[in-house]
Amino acid sequence: MPLIECRKLTRSYAKGGSLITPLKDLDLDVETGAFLALMGPSGSGKTTLLNLIAGIDLPTSGSLKIDGRELTAMSRGALAGWRSEFIGYIFQLYNLVPVLTAYENVELPLLLHDYSPKERHAKVALALELVGLADRHDHFPRQLSGGQEQRVAIARAIVTDPKILVADEPTGDLDAEAAAATMDLLKRLNVEFKKTLLMVTHDPKTASIAGQTLHLQKGQLAGAVTAQT
């Protein structure tokens, strides 16, 4: 059974008296351990699909099952709890809290769980070590480079050990060197730590790191609809 199953997935919303449908009747299977890049022009539904899979948004119609659970049947509260355990989200602009240190930013997701301070410390320390920033734990975002900020954001995304990582243009605000280092890290998380990873990108070079690239056009997929490991 695929880890992620989308059937006739549709998302619509009203805007200025018009009905906008960024995603329409989409079918997609993603196997456990896949690394999938989503490409397509602006407005093609890439980020909409990412947000649905991450449980941030809900579809207008259709079915979305992750690990056998139907997300469309879950309440907002249940969905928030599920998301905090199952999903790690990596943003283009990092979304770090500027008044918190790297350590404190990574610790934030753990505060939603019933961990002791000692357990939280061990998890944060491990996440920062994995992204190569153990020696920057007490630095604030303003004291870090863009690439280092993104690595802190990745540490925050993985600190709860989620099954799925979703990344929205993770290299879009980075220079070439920092982008390459970020993609090396994401590939390592996929290969060594078996994280299922879905990534939106406009960059073919970035997409080439993934195991498979799918293209969206006007809210629908072009080509293959099963993302393999």
Residue 136 lies in a domain: no
Residue 102 lies in a domain: no
Residue 59 lies in a domain: yes
List the CATH number of the domain containing 11: 3.40.50.300
Instruction: Name which residue leads in pLDDT, 70 or 224.
Output: 70
Task: Sort strands 226-227 and 220-222 into parallel, antiparallel or unpaired.
Answer: unpaired
DSSP state for residue 79 in the 8-state scheme = H
Residue 8 lies in a domain: yes
Nearest Cα neighbor of 56 from 74, 41, 43 is: 74
Rounded CA separation 212/35 (Å): 7
Listed in sequence order, the DSSP H helices in the chain are: 46-53, 76-86, 102-107, 117-130, 146-158, 176-191, 204-207
Residue 190 lies in a domain: yes
What percent of the chain stands above pLDDT 90? 86
Residue 180 lies in a domain: yes
Number of domains in the chain: 1
Predicted local confidence at residue 225, as pLDDT = 47
Residue 185 lies in a domain: yes
Report, as an integer, the average pLDDT of 199-223.
92
Residue 6 has pLDDT above 60, yes or no: yes
Residue 221 has pLDDT above 50, yes or no: yes
DSSP state for residue 82 in the 8-state scheme = H
The whole domain housing 45 covers 4-95+161-227
The model's pLDDT over 64-77, given as tens digits with 9 standing for 90+, comes to 999 999 999 998 88
Question: Is 201 in contact with 38 (CB distance < 8 Å)?
Answer: yes
Report, as an integer, the average pLDDT of 128-153.
97
Dihedral sign, Cα of residue 144, residue 146, residue 151, residue 156 = positive
Residue 137 lies in a domain: no
Rounded CA separation 25/155 (Å): 34
Q: What's the chain's average pLDDT? A: 93
The model's pLDDT over 27-55, given as tens digits with 9 standing for 90+, comes to 999 999 999 999 999 889 999 999 999 99
Instruction: Name which residue leads in pLDDT, 144 or 229.
Output: 144
What percent of the chain stands above pLDDT 70? 97
CA 224 to chain centre: 21
